[in-house]
């Protein structure tokens, strides 16, 4: 019989941020190597073992465990069941990681500035990238802009501050820009395409988006990714291909 392409891993912890958002950690199998920004494929440990989904890895490549950040889609084939996860449960983890939303895709030496633009759970790969010392050495400034609908959805806010303090000491300057789209009182509440087009994002970051200086990663909602990509291209920034160009993207659906 062919060897299964996954291992069985134990759920170590579950953290619920809101009724629709939670994080969980899994045991990390020996030999499971990944690059910050990559995603794992996770399956439910059912007799059929047939539902697998892509999940960006939140953890540092140096961590002993694997952390993930999940939405709950009410009728979703995977998350309607995954939401009931408890420590001690098992999940299936494909043996190899996937994906190219990694720093290696940008030709080095890097321009000065890295912009990480996330909607919702699209934050996950950026948390991993920020927990890799290399990024803090390679760039002079790092902007993390994290867009959610309501303030309670701003998961990982204190952790972001801690990560920047731990990994960023003596490294790049860090600017964290939370965006709360359903709160007109929030300092930033427009969607990314509008914030790029009207200069609001640059103003908040006190930094310009420039073809010669900026690497930009976009992750999350595909409509956001596409519209923001268009807004950036209208500003003269280009898609990253074969190492050259400014923009790299990952769509979650
Ligand atoms: C490369 C990659 C990485 C991913 N990483 C993550 C991750 O780190 N965390 C995560 O929660 N999901 C992630 N996803 C999405 C994930 O694979 C599943 O789609 C999600 O878990 C829902 O599965 P489901 O079967 O319940 O619903 P699905 O049938 O897969 O999706 C149903 C619908 O739910 C919505 N939806 C799906 N995922 C999300 C989401 N993350 N946020 C908001 N709405 C969504 C979309 O409208 C989608 O059409 C990733 C997807 C890809 C392709």
Domains and CATH numbers, the chain: 6-94 (2.40.30.10), 103-251 (3.40.50.80)
Report how far ligand 1's centroid is from the alpha carbon of 73 (Å).
8
What atom of ligand 1 comes closest to residue 68's alpha carbon? 8
**Whether residue 109 has a cis bond before it, omega within 30° of 0:** yes
What atom of ligand 1 comes closest to residue 120's alpha carbon? 42
Judge whether 17 and 155 are in contact, CB under 8 Å. Answer: yes
**Separation of alpha carbons 41 and 51, rounded Å:** 10
Report how far ligand 1's centroid is from the alpha carbon of 54 (Å).
7
**H-state helical runs in the chain:** 79-82, 124-130, 133-138, 157-167, 192-197, 200-205, 222-234
Instruction: For ligand 1, pick from 42, 50, 53, 146 the residue to mutate: most ligand atoms within 8 Å of CB.
Output: 53
**Separation of alpha carbons 70 and 47, rounded Å:** 23
For residue 75, give the DSSP letter.
T
Q: What is the pLDDT along the chain (253 residues), one digit of tens a residue?
A: 788 899 999 999 999 999 999 999 999 999 999 999 999 999 998 887 679 999 999 999 999 999 999 999 999 999 999 999 999 999 999 999 999 999 998 876 667 999 999 999 999 999 999 999 999 999 999 999 999 999 999 999 999 999 999 999 889 999 999 999 999 999 999 999 999 999 999 999 999 999 999 999 999 999 999 999 999 999 999 999 988 999 999 999 9
Distance (Å) of CA 204 to CA 143, 179, 195, 214, 218: 10, 11, 10, 16, 18
């Amino acid at each position: 019989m062919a060897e299964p392409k996954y291992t069985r891993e134990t759920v170590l912890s579950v953290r619920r941020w809101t009724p629709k958002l939670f994080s969980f950690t899994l045991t990390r199998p020996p030999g499971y190597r990944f690059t910050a920004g990559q995603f794992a494929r996770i399956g439910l440990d059912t007799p059929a073992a047939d539902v697998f989904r892509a999940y960006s890895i939140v953890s540092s490549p140096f961590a002993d465990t694997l952390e993930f950040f999940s939405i709950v889609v009410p009728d979703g084939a995977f998350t309607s069941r995954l939401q009931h996860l408890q420590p001690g449960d098992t999940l299936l983890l494909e043996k190899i990681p996937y994906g190219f939303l990694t720093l290696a895709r940008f030709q080095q030496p890097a321009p000065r500035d890295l912009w990480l633009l996330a909607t919702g759970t699209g934050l996950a790969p950026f948390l991993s990238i920020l927990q890799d010392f290399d990024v803090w050495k390679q760039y002079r400034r790092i902007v993390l802009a994290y867009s959610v609908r309501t303030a309670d959805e701003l998961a990982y806010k204190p952790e972001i501050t801690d990560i920047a303090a731990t990994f960023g000491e003596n490294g790049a300057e860090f600017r964290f820009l939370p965006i709360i789209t359903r709160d007109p009182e929030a300092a930033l509440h427009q969607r990314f395409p509008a914030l790029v087009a009207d200069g609001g994002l640059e103003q908040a970051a006190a930094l310009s988006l420039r073809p010669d200086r900026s690497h930009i990663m976009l992750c999350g909602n595909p409509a956001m990714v596409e519209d923001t990509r268009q807004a950036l291209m209208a500003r003269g920034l280009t898609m990253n291909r074969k190492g050259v160009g400014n923009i790299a993207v990952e769509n979650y659906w």
